[in-house]
């Protein structure tokens, strides 16, 4: 992940406060709440811009800044999940020792970690602060949470599942480092990757197989397909005419298609012919157990499109099915539904990968 740097907050001027609370993601009700805490009642007809302008002119001390930062810093976001098969069998004791060691190290850095242990699962829940200096000053520190879990698959072996981001990736690598420090035979994390398959058609085939391999579910449609073509470096002559030709050459790296049945569009066929391949797909499936079951919208992608590595996925939404038809209503999948879908996506990804060999 690229480092994100920019200006950092030393003193909150009125402009800094105005930019923060007038941000597009800040709701007007939050500004009204900040004003009400100061004993100021506002009219529902007053615009967000006017409220932000008025509040930013007020005197603010350290505790006001802290209060504003806490309210603006949190970004509600469900991050994608990634997983790895473990090359060697592990015991619960080994995993617990690895998680405990990393828990102590993270807590020494000011983070919060809680461990949960059950019969076939060990979970570490991480709470930390993500710093992004490219954000407006009051949003530079963003409280976030993630998970690391070891759970048994159908074969009775542990697999590692975790939130995919730089912080959690480092933490889970540290867990395996601790585990391997006490083993004669080191364990490896085997992750889904198409790095060994450079052919664009083969990389696209992986997703074509994946979306139709969700066990006990019927494929419905693809709603989003993200296509990618690595940037080319054309040879340029030394004269001015050659440089102008380079400037005039189109070089589209990413193409996004949205709608329904986008993988059946003639547009995507033309993209394939030009060397593009799918790196991210969003699709819908319907459970087979009931005619009235809600549909699920799933997502899978490779975070590094050039090498097709950093595979991740999530269950985006459950689309409510009622009165014999699909509605526009959506809900967040329940925890047990997410867990089941994660297992099915992981199994489908492994099946799809083996079809390429």
pLDDT mean values, one per 10 residues, the chain (357 residues): 48 79 82 89 92 89 73 68 94 95 95 93 92 70 88 90 94 96 92 94 94 95 92 58 51 84 77 90 93 93 95 95 87 93 95 89
Q: Are residues 206 and 349 in the same domain?
A: yes
Q: Are residues 292 and 346 in the same domain?
A: yes
Domain boundary among 134, 168, 190: 190
Confidence (pTM): 0.78
Q: Are residues 53 and 85 in the same domain?
A: no
Question: Is 14 strand, coil or helix?
Answer: helix
Domain that holds residue 62: 14-73
Q: What is the DSSP string of 218-247?
A: EEEEEEEEEEE-PPP-----SSHHHHHHHH
Q: Are residues 98 and 245 in the same domain?
A: no
Q: Are residues 177 and 88 in the same domain?
A: yes
pLDDT for position 77: 64
Helix or strand (DSSP H, E) at 178: helix 166-181
The reply to whether 179 falls in a domain is: yes
Find all residues with CB under 8 Å of 195, minimum gap 6, and list them: 307, 308, 309
Distance between CA atoms of residues 128 and 131, nearest Å: 10
Domain count, the chain: 3
Distance between CA atoms of residues 292 and 313, nearest Å: 25
pLDDT for position 289: 86
Helix or strand (DSSP H, E) at 95: helix 92-108
Which of 146, 141, 140, 108 has the alpha carbon at shortest distance from 127? 146
The reply to whether 1 falls in a domain is: no
Q: Are residues 314 and 214 in the same domain?
A: yes
Q: Are residues 51 and 169 in the same domain?
A: no
The reply to whether 2 falls in a domain is: no
The reply to whether 43 falls in a domain is: yes
61-100 as b/e: b if 16+ CB within 10 A: eeebbeebbeebbeeeeebbbbbbbbeeebeeebbebbbe
Q: Are residues 164 and 62 in the same domain?
A: no
Question: Which CATH number belongs to the domain containing residue 169 in this structure?
Answer: 3.30.310
Q: Are residues 162 and 273 in the same domain?
A: no
Q: Are residues 37 and 162 in the same domain?
A: no
pLDDT for position 5: 47
Distance between CA atoms of residues 344 and 335, nearest Å: 14
Question: How many CA atoms does the CB half-sphere of 282 hold within 13 Å?
Answer: 15
The reply to whether 9 falls in a domain is: no
Q: Are residues 340 and 212 in the same domain?
A: yes
Domain boundary among 190, 217, 244: 190
Domain boundary among 136, 167, 190: 190
Q: Are residues 29 and 102 in the same domain?
A: no
Cβ of 185: how many Cβ atoms within 10 Å? Answer: 8
């Amino acid at each position: 992940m690229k480092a994100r740097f920019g200006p950092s907050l030393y003193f909150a001027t009125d402009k800094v406060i105005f930019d923060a609370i007038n941000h597009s993601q800040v709701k007007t009700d939050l500004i009204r709440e900040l004003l009400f805490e100061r004993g100021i009642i506002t009219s529902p007809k007053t615009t967000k811009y006017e409220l932000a302008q008025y509040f930013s002119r007020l005197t603010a001390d350290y505790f006001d800044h802290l209060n504003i930062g806490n309210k603006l810093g949190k970004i509600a976001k469900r991050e994608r999940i990634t997983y790895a098969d473990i090359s060697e069998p592990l015991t619960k004791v080994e995993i617990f020792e690895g998680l405990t060691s990393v828990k102590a190290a993270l807590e020494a850095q000011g983070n919060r970690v809680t461990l949960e242990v059950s019969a076939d699962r060990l979970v570490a829940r991480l709470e930390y602060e993500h710093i992004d200096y490219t954000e407006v000053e009051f949003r530079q520190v963003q409280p976030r949470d993630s998970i690391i879990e070891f759970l048994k698959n159908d074969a009775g072996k542990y697999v590692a599942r975790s939130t995919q981001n730089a912080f959690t990736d480092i933490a889970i690598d540290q867990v395996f480092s601790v585990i391997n420090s006490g083993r004669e035979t080191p364990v490896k994390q085997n992750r889904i990757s198409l790095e060994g398959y450079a052919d664009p058609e083969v990389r696209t085939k992986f997703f074509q197989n994946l979306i139709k391999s969700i066990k006990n579910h019927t494929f419905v449609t693809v709603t989003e397909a993200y296509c990618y073509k690595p940037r080319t470096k054309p040879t340029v002559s030394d004269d001015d005419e050659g440089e102008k030709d380079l400037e005039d050459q189109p070089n589209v790296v990413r193409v996004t298609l949205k709608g329904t049945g986008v993988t059946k569009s003639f547009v995507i066929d033309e993209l394939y012919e030009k060397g593009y391949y799918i790196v991210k797909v969003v699709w819908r499936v319907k459970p087979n157990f009931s005619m009235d079951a809600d549909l699920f919208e799933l997502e899978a992608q490779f975070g590094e499109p050039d090498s097709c590595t950093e595979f991740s996925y999530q269950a985006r939404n459950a689309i409510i099915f009622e009165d014999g038809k699909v509605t526009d209503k959506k809900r967040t999948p329940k925890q047990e539904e997410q867990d089941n879908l994660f297992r099915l996506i992981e199994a489908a990804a492994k099946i799809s990968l083996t079809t390429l060999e």
